[in-house]
């Protein structure tokens, strides 16, 4: 497979604990859908449903898929400020140099945000249950009598 940026052979390498095809020149990384999922799971363990949609819309690019040489498409990764490219025939995703680090950072931040949101919802539920409890309502009634 050839790098879509440099047009040199990609080599097998470990990136962030994932076996991937990497360009020794531009440091880009080619990942299958499964490998991209494994990379995300390095930083995000709340399950696939919580990740959100991967691709909402895309635009054509000049770069070619390393596997089939079809023109790839660019998309905004899960609506974060990170543009990635993918093969429309589902062969994989191209990450330019250090975009894997940005992707992991986004996933860590999203996981932390979801955990904070969950804790806030739990706390609010507890407050509502207390406000609806018989003892609280009895105290409220007696205050107005």
Give the domain ranges of the chain. Answer: 11-143
- Cα 86 from Cα 127, distance rounded (Å): 46
Using the predicted structure, report yes or no on whether residue 142 has a pLDDT greater than 80.
no
Question: pLDDT at position 99, please?
Answer: 93
Using the predicted structure, report yes or no on whether residue 114 has a pLDDT greater than 80.
no
Bridge-based pairing of strands 83-86 and 93-95 is antiparallel
Using the predicted structure, report yes or no on whether residue 74 has a pLDDT greater than 90.
yes
Which band of pLDDT confidence, cut at 50, 70 and 90, is reported for residue 48?
Answer: low
Question: pLDDT at position 110, please?
Answer: 80
Q: What percent of the chain has pLDDT over 90?
A: 44
In the chain the first and final C-alpha atoms are separated, in Å, by 81
- Cα 30 from Cα 1, distance rounded (Å): 10
- Quick: pLDDT tens for 11-32: 999 888 889 999 999 999 999 9
Global confidence as pTM? 0.72
> E strands within the chain?
11-15, 18-22, 29-31, 58-64, 71-76, 83-86, 93-95
């Amino acid at each position: 497979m050839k790098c879509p940026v440099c047009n040199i052979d990609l080599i097998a390498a470990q990136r962030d604990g994932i076996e991937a095809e990497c360009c020794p020149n531009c440091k880009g990384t080619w990942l299958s859908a499964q490998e991209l999922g494994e990379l995300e799971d390095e930083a995000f363990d709340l399950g696939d449903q919580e990740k959100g949609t991967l691709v909402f819309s895309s635009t054509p690019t000049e770069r070619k898929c390393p596997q089939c040489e079809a023109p790839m498409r660019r998309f905004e990764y899960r609506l974060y400020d990170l543009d990635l490219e993918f093969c429309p025939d589902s062969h994989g995703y191209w990450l330019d140099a250090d975009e894997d680090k940005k992707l992991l950072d986004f996933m860590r931040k999203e996981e932390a945000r979801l955990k904070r949101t969950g804790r806030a919802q739990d706390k609010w539920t507890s407050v509502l249950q207390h406000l609806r409890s018989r003892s609280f309502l009895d105290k409220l009634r007696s205050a107005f009598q």
